[in-house]
Structure 1
Amino acid sequence: MSFPTTGSSIQIQSYKHNGQLHRVWEETVILRGTSSVVIGGNDRIIVTESDGRQWRTREPAICYFNSEQWFNVIGMLREQGIHYYCNLGTPFTYDGEALKYIDYDLDVKVFPDMTYTILDEDEFALHKIEMNYPKEINDILRRSLDELCSMINQRKGPFEPEFIENWYERFLEYR
């Protein structure tokens, strides 16, 4: 698998299980790009939804993708502290055009005090039936949700103290 080079600017594209494009984030700057980990930064970028609607992010964010984990993490730097938004989905791929993954609906919102809420379980249940998610996918996602919650509780990976701040400092060097 190829991987994006440090300092390059790429798109991030999420898809649904049925192959339909779900969302596109423009202009994420690659801070670290390897075959196993991609860390990117962006600030007030345009996001395009599958129906064509567009909106702009409100704050700087650091994005963390791992090729072996069925989730990705976005750390948003807000005045009240770092808020995280975690998407359960396939490990990323990169094809030279964009970093891509399949979004499987379940999300985890993490607050600055490291408490969290699991979101969109109803959407996951509906899409599991509508798009006929295989049992293996359901099992992987449940294990991945447990792994993600454990990382949050233990403050590991992108949830380590100062992880987001340190990568944000690097992001500022590219602006």
Structure 2
Amino acid sequence: MFEAIEIKAYKNDNKLSKIFSNGCLLYEDDEQKVFASNNYSVIEDGKKTFINKGKEIWFFPKNKLFNIMWFLEQNKTLFFINIASPISDKNIYIDYDIDIKVNKDGQYQILDLANFNKNRFLYKYDETIVNNVWDTVDELKKIIKNKEKWFNKKYLENILKNESVYKWINQE
């Protein structure tokens, strides 16, 4: 019913960083692409590193420097946000290292700041990228705190009512 696809993450020097397998495109609109996966595997640096158990919906806003994984069968973490370029038509994005983990209670933790600070020199992030990354982190902190868009219960309930999302969740 849903065609399996891969999503690829590269570093700023065009080196492949991760391949996410077992995903599918649920829908695309003017604002975002919405993917889903069930037990996706991640290949990092050419080696299979882990399989993420459970169902996730993955939002890729078209004009934002982040993407958001929503864990439907969550334990403590409800969302995982990658600071990254918008996804391309070929399902590729550039990973800018910083991640944000959001728990069910709305508390968040910013991860991998040391990696960003190291890689911004290693991969020669230009000043515009660095400034945009920090602006994006600030924007996300406000969106999370104010429970806007992806972090709003009514918005997520509406996502679940989307025909493609509903079919994917309820497939056997």
- Give the alignment's TM-score, normalised by structure 2: 0.87
Matched residue, 2:24:
29
| 1:14 and 1:103 in contact (8 A); partners too | yes
CA 1:19/1:35 → structure 2, altered by over 3 Å: closer, same or farther? farther
Q: Deviations over 1:135-172 (max 9, x none)?
A: 10001111111111111111122111151772664422
Structure 1 residues 1-52: Cα deviation after superposition (integer angstroms, max 9, x where no partner): xxxxx94432111000110001111121222123541111111122111232
RMSD over aligned Cα, in angstroms? 2.1
Unaligned runs of 5+ in 2: none
Q: Match of 2:44?
A: 49
State yes or no: 1:73 paired with 2:54: no
TM-score under structure 1 normalisation?
A: 0.86
Task: For 2:145 and 2:126, locate their aligned partners in 1 and report how far apart those are by CA, in whole Å.
Answer: 29
Q: Which amino acid aligns with 2:10?
A: Y
Give per-residue Cα distances to partners, 1:52-95, cap 9 Å, x unaligned.
Answer: 23321122111000110000000112354661110001111113
Say whether residues 1:15 and 2:27 are aligned partners.
Answer: no
Aligned to 2:169: 172
How many residues align structurally? Answer: 167
Alignment of 1:1-175 (within 5 A): 7-34=2-29, 36-80=31-75, 83-95=78-90, 99-161=91-153, 163=156, 166=160, 169-175=166-172
Q: Does the CA-based 8 Å contact 2:22-2:39 persist in structure 1? A: no
